[in-house]
Structure 1
Amino acid sequence: MATFLYARVSTSEQTLDHQQSQAEKAGFTFDHVIADHGVSGMSVLMKDRPEGKRLFDMLRAGDTLVVRWVDRLGRNYADVTDTIREFMRRGVVIRTVINSMTFDGATADPIQMAVRDAMIAFMAGTAQAQAEATKDAQKAGIANARDKGNDSYKGRKPSYTREQYTTVADLLRKSDSVSEIAQASGLTRQTVYRIKEDPAAAEKALAAWGL
């Protein structure tokens, strides 16, 4: 039986070290630390993330999976609830650092199961609602800046060139894997994922910067 820490680091303000140290201060020790960097929890399913897929392959009955909170598993309601239920069916115990929640498949009592499932649903729903609220606030801020005549607002400069974007787009149409595309384009897998998730936004970012 092993204890895993899974961390998802989606922004520059988040770090693996912070999530791990917070868990260790709560009394956890780990046999394995697994982290996905720069991957959206909304649009990239747990099984589709490079390290998330690895976690699915490694977990066994009797193992414990620790996460800072359920939003590290993802911010997509259906994905998070499906992931937790899949792990519980395997006999894995899921524990959160925040709120000290424990989810497992040990109980057969229907009332306890209903309470457990309702809590999972509530936490997963909260994670998605928070992500959507943040996204809406960002859109409103951008629109407000433009309404005030701030035409110089461009957002973050793309980490890829027009040539690299074209390469990625062409290879995605050929159904090449993300790893193969990253190698061919010279980009990170996370950047390829971002282009794959929203090619229109990636194109728009290039145009905004005149690239």
Structure 2
Amino acid sequence: MLVRAYLRASTDEQDATRARAQLEAFAEERGLIIASTYIENESGAKLARPELFRLLSDARKGDILLIEQVDRLSRLTADDWQKLRTELHQREVKVVALDLPTSWISAAPSDEFTGRMFEAINGMMLDVLAAVARKDYDDRRRRQAQGQAKAKAEGRYRGRVEDVKRNDGIASMLRAKMSWTQIQHATGASRATIAKIAKRDVSITA
């Protein structure tokens, strides 16, 4: 049984590695080995997350997907959450979250009865926390939209300021034929940001 740590932040400006030390401490306390760590800056509301699915592709039966909080794994709609749950179930990957103590039993040896009982409890709790995370996401988006609408009406809204220096650097890396993965590691930018820059810079695709 190996541990695969998953660290996610929603935007390029956020530090996706913030909880790394906590995950490592959790594993060390239980004598677990973190085989690999997967880091990405993508919205938890998106199912299409390259690093998450690379983790699932790498995982073997019985491996642990270790996260800080359930919302790091999912802010998905109900349909997308069920798709991800099915993927986890088919690959027999166990989810352990620091904010879900009942999931910690999956990180320790147990008899068949105890394992099945806690698997059922954790499945229910994961569904509940994933639904709460989605509601929180929808509520924040609604409040943000309301705030922006008010600011626009009052002539105060300017939108997000572009990081021109970083984006110019990404464009230069793309022209130099660097891979998107290399660019992500060098800049911390999301694949969505790299794709946007590649699309708008004609000289890259010409």
CA contact (8 A) 2:56 2:91 kept: no
User: Could you say if the C-alpha distance between residues 21 and 81 of structure 1 is closer, same or farther in structure 2, counting changes exceeding 3 Å?
Assistant: farther
Paired position in structure 2 for 1:54: 54
Which deviations, in whole Å up to 9, do the C-alpha atoms of 1:132-177 show, x marking residues without a partner? 11111111111121222326x233337669xx9xxxxxxxxxxxxx
CA distance in 1, matches of 2:76, 2:193: 20
User: Could you say if the C-alpha distance between residues 111 and 100 of structure 1 is closer, same or farther in structure 2, counting changes exceeding 3 Å?
Assistant: closer
Structure 1: state its 5+ residue gaps. Answer: 165-178, 203-211
CA distance in 2, matches of 1:129, 1:91: 27
Q: Secondary structure at the match of 1:135?
A: helix
CA contact (8 A) 1:81 1:120 kept: no
Which deviations, in whole Å up to 9, do the C-alpha atoms of 1:84-109 show, x marking residues without a partner? 342233222210011324287x6699
- Counterpart check, 1:155 vs 2:160: yes
Percent identity of equivalent pairs: 24
Once the two structures are superposed, the pairs formed by residues 28-43 of structure 1 within 5 Å of their partners are: 28=28, 30-37=34-41, 39-42=42-45
Paired position in structure 1 for 2:191: 189
Which residue of 130, 134, 144 maps to 1:138?
144
> Aligned-pair distance for 1:55?
1.1
Paired position in structure 2 for 1:206: none
Matched residue type, 1:4? R
> Aligned-pair distance for 1:117?
3.5
Q: Secondary structure at the match of 2:100?
A: helix
> Aligned-pair distance for 1:116?
4.0
Structure-1-length-normalised TM-score? 0.64
Which deviations, in whole Å up to 9, do the C-alpha atoms of 1:11-56 show, x marking residues without a partner? 323331x22112233345512101112x1221x31xx322122112
| 20-29 vs 108-117, greater mean Cα deviation | 108-117
CA distance in 1, matches of 2:133, 2:65: 18
Structure-2-length-normalised TM-score? 0.65
Paired position in structure 2 for 1:170: none
Count of residues in Structure 1 that have an aligned counterpart in Structure 2: 171
| 89-98 vs 73-82, greater mean Cα deviation | 73-82
Paired position in structure 2 for 1:72: 72
User: Could you say if the C-alpha distance between residues 69 and 188 of structure 1 is closer, same or farther in structure 2, counting changes exceeding 3 Å?
Assistant: closer
CA contact (8 A) 2:64 2:94 kept: yes
User: Could you say if the C-alpha distance between residues 90 and 107 of structure 1 is closer, same or farther in structure 2, counting changes exceeding 3 Å?
Assistant: farther
- Aligned Cα RMSD in Å? 3.7
Once the two structures are superposed, the pairs formed by residues 158-177 of structure 1 within 5 Å of their partners are: none
